[in-house]
Structure 1
Amino acid sequence: MSSAGQSNCRSIISGFPSPAQDYEARTLDLNERLVKRPSASFFMTVTGDSMESLGIHDGDLLLIDRSIEPRPGHILVALVEGEITVKRYQLKDQQPFLCSANPAYPPIPLEDLDCQVWGVVRSVIHEYPV
C-alpha cells in the first residue's frame, strides 16, 4: 500500500477468457447469417419423416430461397398435385424425380404431374429438446 493508504494493485483476469467475449457487443441475428436474398426467402416448418436421413426432422425450420435455380441434388420445396412436399431433386435416365431420403417413400416422377417449385432449401434449423 502507498503511504496514502491506497492500493497500487490493478484488477487482472484469472483463467481463460470467455469464448463469447468477442461477441458481447454483437447481437445474434440468424437472418443476417443465413438469409442471402431477403426478398426471395421464406421460412417453413417441416412435417413428416421423409427427409430424416438428410438431417431434416419433423418440426425443423427450413429456410427456402426462391431465387436459386433448382439443380439435381438440391432439396426443394414444391407443390405437387396440390400438396406441399420437401424432397431432393434428382435425374434418373434424364427424367426428373423428387426423391425422399426415407426408403418408405417412393420417388415422385415429375413427368405429367402438376408441379410448382417454391424454392431451394438453403438451411435447416433443428432444435433439441432441453
Structure 2
Amino acid sequence: MSGAKRIQIPMMGRPLCAGFPSPADDYVEEALDPARLIVTNPASTFMWRVVGRSMIAAGINDGDYAVVDRSLTPKADDVVVAVIDGLPSAKRVVRLRGGRLALDFANPDMGPLILDEASEALIWGVVTWSLTPHRPASR
C-alpha cells in the first residue's frame, strides 16, 4: 500500500439501524481509512474476487471480494483460500470427530468436500473480510 493515496471516509457516530428506522445523529465521529480497517498486515494481505456459491452460508457471495491474510494460522470455522490440485478455492475449516481439521463447503445445498488420495491441498491464507458490492461499478 505504500505510495497509494489513502482515502478517509467519514464514520458516523451512531450505528446504522438495519431494522426499524431511528433518528440519525448529525455529526461525524471520526474519519476512517477502509484499508486500515480491513488490512492488519499489509505485507501478507491479498484480495481475491469470489466466483461461485460454495461459501454462501459463510456470508460470502458470488462477486464479493475476499481479503486474505497469509500470516494467520487457520483454525476451525475459519474461511480459507485452499489450493486444491493447483486451483485456489475458498473453503471452510471444520473440526472432525477426533479433533482433526478438514476443509468443506459453506453451502447446505452442496455435499461434503471429498478429496481422493491423489489430491494435494495447501492452505494459502485465511479470509479476514469479504466485501460485498451492493451497487457494482459500471464497466
Report the TM-score when normalising by structure 1: 0.74
Deviations 1:29-56 (A, max 9, x none): 2211111111011011100011112210
Task: Pick closer, same or farther for the CA change 1:17–1:52 going to 2, 3 Å.
Answer: closer
3-state SS, counterpart of residue 133 of structure 2: coil
How far off is 1:109 after superposition? 4.2
Structure 2: gaps (5+ residues): 1-23
Gaps of 5+ in 1: 1-15
1:83-94 equivalent positions in 2, closer than 5 A: 83-94=87-98
* In structure 1, distance between residues paired with 2:48 and 2:86: 17
TM-fit CA distance, 1:126 = 0.8
Count of matched residue pairs: 111
Deviation at 1:107, TM superposition (A): 2.3
Which whole-Å CA distance do the structure 2 matches of 1:122 and 1:85 have between them? 15
In 2, Cα distance between equivalents of 1:72 and 1:111: 22
Match of 2:53 in 1: 49
Structure number having the greater helix percentage: 1
| 1:18 and 2:26 are equivalent in the alignment | yes
Shift, 1:128, TM fit: 1.0
Is the contact between residue 96 and residue 110 of structure 1 (CA under 8 Å) also seen in structure 2? no
Amino-acid identity (%): 30
Larger-Rg structure: 1
Cα distance change, pair 17–84 in 1 and its aligned pair in 2 (3 A): closer
> Of 102, 109, 121, which residue of structure 1 is paired with 2:107?
102
Distance (whole Å) between structure 2 residues aligned to residue 111 and residue 73 of structure 1: 23
Which residue identity does 2:26 align to in structure 1?
Answer: S
